[in-house]
Structure 1
Amino acid sequence: MSSAVSSTSRPLAVALVGCGIIGVNHSRVIVRHPDLRIVALVDSVPEASHRLADLIADELGAERPAEFTTLGEALSASSVDLVVICTPSGLHVQLAEEALAAGTHVVIEKPLDVTLPRARRIAALAAEAESRGSVVSVISQHRFDPASVAVARAAHDGAFGRITSGVASVAWWRSQEYYDSGQWRGTWALDGGGAVMNQGVHTVDLLVWFLGRPVEIFAHTALLAHERVEVEDVAVATVRFESGALAVLHATTAAYPGLSVRLQVHGSEGSAVIDDDQLEYFYAAGDGEPRNQASEQVAASELRGADKGPDGFIVGHLRQYEDIVDAIRTGRQPGVRVEDALVSLAVVRAVYLSATLGTPVSFEAVLAGDLDDVDVTAGAFADVLVGGSQ
């Protein structure tokens, strides 16, 4: 169990759970933060934690963490301030519950979980833990991109006038080898969905952050370019918001060779376009001529990170970790809370429900659990085979 940590005390002791690709990326971020120190690695596969421990000690130059096969063992063996959960999405709830029961702060990699009932369970646990002073955050690193911050500020402050519409597109490619590389990939049980849940959830989160509370979602999904996959590789949806604004959502892992993530926000007095985290276009009321960069925007090299390869992941996550550490040190709420992630997950769930039912669905009904009994695992594309053959 961890006690409160003052702003002048030792670095926060981190237990990292899940030593696969995402865990490796998080370790690179955590090691670079001066107020964080990885003291424990947890993975049910000892070889995975051993490889990551080697990387931390030999390549990243940090102290070698202890290795455990369960979170309980790690919490019992050492003092842990922060548990970072990087396991397959379907395992998030159990680990978050265990960490919060031990009194630690918690960071959960996106998405919050793969089902709304379990996500609501995390939200309830997080609210209770926050009342005791714990910080619980879900990774949504793109909310901290300078481009996203500039657009959100303009949307929320009225600089775009009345927000009228949005367009969000994640046009990526994932090979068949990607899905075959892990038994959990492309499954409902552990991935929770396909292109929308796994690849598109960050973009869904930004769309909701920019445009506000959703009201209704109408969607179609398909599996068109992959085999041996339970979930969709393409989805399209329309979203109606409380403000009256309308948006189009598109997510796919079947756009060879892989294009950009693009977000457009349009209003009666201004518009903005973000392409691959860069502010491509920005015009707001009283702002003069349209411009390709906002004053808040930084150079592309800074946004993407000066390092190449795996370190390109670091910059956005490091911004969010800075927010989380400051929240822990000062006792405030983090910039992204569990309730924010719950809303984004409910939109994703609404996409799958609408595609399954063939009708628009109410966002509030989905969020409240009124449609929890609907089985989306068969998909709305069960009779669609790769290549369009019947």
Structure 2
Amino acid sequence: MEKVKIGIIGIGNMGSGHTTYLMNGEVPGAELTAVCDIDPKRLEWVKSKYGDKIKLFDDDDAFFANSGVDAVIIATPHYSHPPLAIQAFQKGMHVLVEKPAGVYTKQVREMNEVAKKSGKVFAIMFMWRTHPLYQKLKDLIDSGELGEIKRTNWIITNWYRSQSYYDSGSWRATWSGEGGGVLLNQCPHNLDLWQWICGMPKRVRAFCYFGKYHNIEVEDDVTAFVEYPNGATGVFVTTTGETPGTNRLEVAGDRGKIVIEDDKLTFWRLRESEREFNARYKGGFGEPECWKCEIPINGKPSWHPGITRNFVEAIQKGTPLIAPGEEGIKSLSISNAMLLSTWTDDWVELPIDEDLYYQMLSERIKNSTIKKG
């Protein structure tokens, strides 16, 4: 394949960004040839910038039938990600879907099954996986440098949003339009990195607060506790109602502690295993010798263009994906578990009861009272 013909569905904030870097030639081997959006103003924006270089569609079915693209980037509201991806796979297209993979895992699992049967390349826009900071943390854990994980903590409260942000779109911060709040909109990247680096928890106990700081019906403040299969524990704290916020990821292991904060990675490295020290030491008070190491981070994140370049290379050359689309269900499972734990006021085991989650989500959609213009 000389060039991969790409189409974009959804030309909002994210879709317009994808349009710009593709048209700027930032993805070798790719050519943007078609876009689709139901808003005439968004299509007019594309036409005003790029003229007749891109085919314009205002209907999904017409796009799938007549665009002639090889691959599609889906950048629409959350609920539509799986059905559009399924339609694309059934038309023989490769798919790159924006985060989150969907709103509830039952829907996303169906998308994953169709993707697998199609044999097409399926990726998700988890561009934070291209960040050297998090790649280095994953390397230090995967290589055994940190030893077995004991505890993880992520305080990610620098997602402040004003009421005017939520009022900017009728779909925002509603159960029917967005399917969730800070967990579904702001934190999918953090939850993905958390599980990508530290693994999936086995159960979750969470406390989500709905409309605590804003006139919205979904969660804008969350504190969650998780347990991992090896006995390790973790805490995840997030909100859109605090400023100034904090972004601090801390992972403690048998051979020390790693902290990412202020774009730096610091490794407090023990000279010996804590478990081995604990077994041999007879001096009462005492700790293993520890070195504070500032780990050098090389390179810069390639962000959205990097994920798209990788997607195109996977189509053309079989290059392994940085963010396989099937993995989108993992972070969504965690956020679904956090909400379900709050709704049931109990622990939630993973994998979650998908039918119960969908039932309880549907009740909230039905009983929605907030109407925004």
TM-score range, shorter chain: 0.7 to 0.9
Q: Secondary structure at the match of 1:290?
A: strand
CA distance in 2, matches of 1:54, 1:243: 56
Q: State whether residues 99 and 106 of structure 1, in contact with CA within 8 Å, keep that contact through their aligned partners in structure 2.
A: yes
CA distance in structure 1 between the aligned counterparts of 2:10 and 2:253, rounded to whole angstroms: 42
For 2:95, the aligned partner's letter is V
1:143-166, Cα deviation, whole Å (9 max, x unpaired): 121111111111122110111111
Distance 1:167 1:374 in 2: 31
Distance 2:269 2:138 in 1: 12
Is the alpha carbon distance of 1:285 and 1:336 closer, same or farther for their aligned partners in structure 2, counting shifts above 3 Å?
A: farther
Deviations 1:12-46 (A, max 9, x none): 11110001111112223333212222111100112
Partner residue of 1:153? 139
Q: 1:370 to 1:159 in 2, by over 3 A?
A: farther
Change (3 A) 1:293 1:28: farther
Q: 1:139 aligns with which of 117, 125, 145?
A: 125
Q: Residues 281 and 291 of structure 1 are in contact (CA less than 8 Å); yes or no, is this contact kept in structure 2?
A: yes
Which of the residues 246, 267, 291 maps onto 1:282?
Answer: 267
Shift of 1:119: 0.8
Shift, 1:289, TM fit: 4.0
Query: What letter is aligned with 1:334?
Result: L
Tell me by how many angstroms 1:286 deviates.
6.6
Displacement, 1:126? 1.1
In the alignment, is residue 33 of structure 1 matched against residue 21 of structure 2? Answer: no
| Alignment counterpart, residue 163 of structure 2, candidates 168, 171, 176 | 176
Q: Does 1:225 align with 2:213?
A: yes
Q: What's the CA shift for 1:374?
A: 4.3
Report the Cα distance in structure 2 between the residues aligned to 1:136 and 1:34, rounded to whole angstroms: 19
8 Å CA contact retained: 1:279, 1:297: no
TM-score (norm 2): 0.86
TM-superposed deviation, 1:52: 3.1
Q: Secondary structure at the match of 1:196?
A: coil
CA distance in 1, matches of 2:269, 2:63: 51
Distance 1:210 1:359 in 2: 26
Identity %: 28
By how many angstroms is 1:290 displaced? Answer: 2.6
**Contact map agreement 2:205 2:224 (CA 8 A) in 1:** yes
Matches within 5 A, 1:96-107: 96-107=85-96
Q: 1:122 aligns with which of 111, 116, 119?
A: 111
C-alpha contact 2:337 2:352 (8 A) present in aligned 1:
no
Partner-residue secondary structure (3-state), 2:326: helix
2:6 aligned residue (3, 11, 14): 14
Distance 1:234-1:42 versus aligned 2 partners, 3 A rule = same
- For residues 85-104 of structure 1, the aligned pairs below 5 Å read 85-104=74-93
| 2:36 equivalent to 1:49 | no
The 3 A distance-change label for structure 1 pair 53 and 264 is farther
Structure having the higher Rg: 2
Distance 1:319 1:282 in 2: 27
Distance 1:284 1:323, change over 3 A: farther
- SS of 1:181's equivalent in the other structure is coil
- 1:24 and 2:16 correspond: yes
Q: Give, in whole Å, the separation in 2 of the partners of 1:118 and 1:216.
A: 21
The one-letter amino acid of 2:19's match is S
Tell me how far 1:72 sits from its aligned partner: 2.7
Query: CA separation in 2, counterparts of 1:102 and 1:94?
Result: 12
CA distance 1:154–1:205, shift in 2 (3 Å): same
Please give the secondary structure, in 1, of the residue aligned with 2:63. Answer: helix
* Post-superposition offset of 1:169: 2.3
Unmatched runs of 5 consecutive residues or more in structure 1: 304-314, 383-390
What corresponds to 1:267 in structure 2? Answer: 253
Task: Note if contact 1:114-1:190 (Cα within 8 Å) is conserved in structure 2.
Answer: no
* Residues 78 and 100 in structure 2, CA contact (< 8 A), matched pair in contact too: yes
CA RMSD between the two structures: 2.3
- State the match for 1:199 in structure 2: 186
How far, CA to CA, are the matches of 1:169 and 1:354 in structure 2?
Answer: 19
Tell me if structure 2 keeps the 8 A contact 1:15–1:38. Answer: yes
Match of 1:328 among 315, 325, 330: 315
1:108 and 2:91 are equivalent in the alignment: no
Q: State the TM-score, normalized to the length of structure 1.
A: 0.82
Could you say if the C-alpha distance between residues 210 and 323 of structure 1 is closer, same or farther in structure 2, counting changes exceeding 3 Å? same
- Cα distance in 1 between the residues matched to 2:312 and 2:269: 33
CA distance, structure 2, for counterparts of residue 274 and residue 377 of structure 1: 38
Amino acid at match of 2:214: H
Change (3 A) 1:54 1:244: farther
Specify which of 58, 61, 66 is matched with residue 72 of structure 1: 61
> What is the alpha-carbon distance in structure 1 between the residues aligned to residue 19 and residue 269 of structure 2?
39
User: 8 Å contact 2:124–2:324 — kept in the other structure?
Assistant: yes
State the one-letter code of the partner of 2:70. D
Query: In structure 1, what is the Cα distance between the partners aligned to 2:269 and 2:327?
Result: 26
Measure, in 2, the Cα distance between the counterparts of 1:53 and 1:88. Answer: 22
Q: Conserved in 1, the CA contact under 8 Å of 2:88 and 2:94? A: yes
Cα offset, 1:378, TM superposition: 6.6
Q: 1:252 aligns with which of 221, 230, 239?
A: 239
Tell me what 2:294 maps to. 292
Size of the aligned set, in residue pairs, is: 345
